[in-house]
Structure 1
Amino acid sequence: MNTPKILVSACLLGCPARYDGQSKPVNHPLLQRWHANGWLVPYCPEQAGGLPTPRPAAEIQQDGRVMTGEGKDVTSAFLKGAEQALALCQQQKIKYALLKESSPSCGSHDIYDGQFRGRKIQGEGITAHLLKAHGIRIFSEQQIDELFTTLS
């Protein structure tokens, strides 16, 4: 199996990096093995962009801005985290990313609708979009087996 480095949402590896101070660990044997072998690069774009943990929930608006439920514009922090993710991938020659679905940073298929109603729509998070635009292949946590097949 080819063993390139893979950028991974830190919350998927058990790091309490989510907006609510929690994690969303994925207990998949492949992910555990890859982590033990040092193939994974944990990363949280929102923390890297300067946002605290915990932090207010944020959603992408129809105009592309990222806003908290309280009306604070946090777009610049999301963009900064995404740009740093891209720089990290380019520096370490990372061609694959395993990102947390539905996140305003990491969602690759769906995100929340921007109305803070808990409703999801088709769309991409800020980081997922930037990485994809630069040729990095994005997988969600539901696609670990597909990622494995791609790397085999």
Structure 2
Amino acid sequence: MIIVSSCLAGVKCRYDGNDNLVPEIKELVLSGRAIALCPEELGDLSTPRIPCEIVKKDNQLKVMTKDQVDCTAQFLLGAGKVAQIAKILDCKQAILKANSPSCGYGMIYDGSFTGEKIKGNGLTAELLSKQGVEIKNETNMNFSILNYTQEND
């Protein structure tokens, strides 16, 4: 089973109430080869919601809204739930939304809300990676994954 960010499968769960549909990823879910999860909604955040980015505050990394409300606890809760599901389903791969404070892997927005990016991982991507899950995103995934079968588990 592959974990995918729900927004990439066409679920309108982004902060602005929209999605980031990638038809091939939606097909993975519809065919039963992937499970769509939104760590932010699993962390009890509403949709729509105020945009968040990871910032360094008081010498710690925190997830803050554009209005400077600390949402770190909700992001950690959602990340933990996704990691727990990954463990239960013995997931080895994930396709997550690039640059997100939850799902970004390798690059994330820099906390200035200007669209600038820095090296880093979102909280969910970081936790999954520590569990040994291979992380891809919609910009670097190999579409041959569509040939993935249950025998590959």
TM (norm. structure 2) is: 0.89
Query: How many residue pairs align between the two structures?
Result: 146
Contact 2:8–2:26 (Cα < 8 Å) also in 1: no
For 1:39 and 1:149, how far apart are their aligned partners in 2?
Answer: 9
Stretch deviating more after TM superposition (66-75 or 33-42): 33-42
Aligned counterpart for 1:43 among listed residues 37, 41, 52: 37
SS in 1 for 2:32: coil
Residue 74 of structure 1 is matched in structure 2 by 71
Unaligned runs of 5+ in 1: none
- CA deviation after TM superposition for structure 1 residue 123, in Å: 1.1
1:27-66 equivalences in 2 (<5 Å): 27-28=23-24, 31-62=25-56, 63-66=60-63
Letter in 2 for 1:21: G
1:3-152 equivalences in 2 (<5 Å): 5-28=1-24, 31-62=25-56, 63-145=60-142, 148=145
Unaligned runs of 5+ in 2: none
- CA deviation after TM superposition for structure 1 residue 149, in Å: 9.0
For 1:55 and 1:112, how far apart are their aligned partners in 2?
Answer: 17
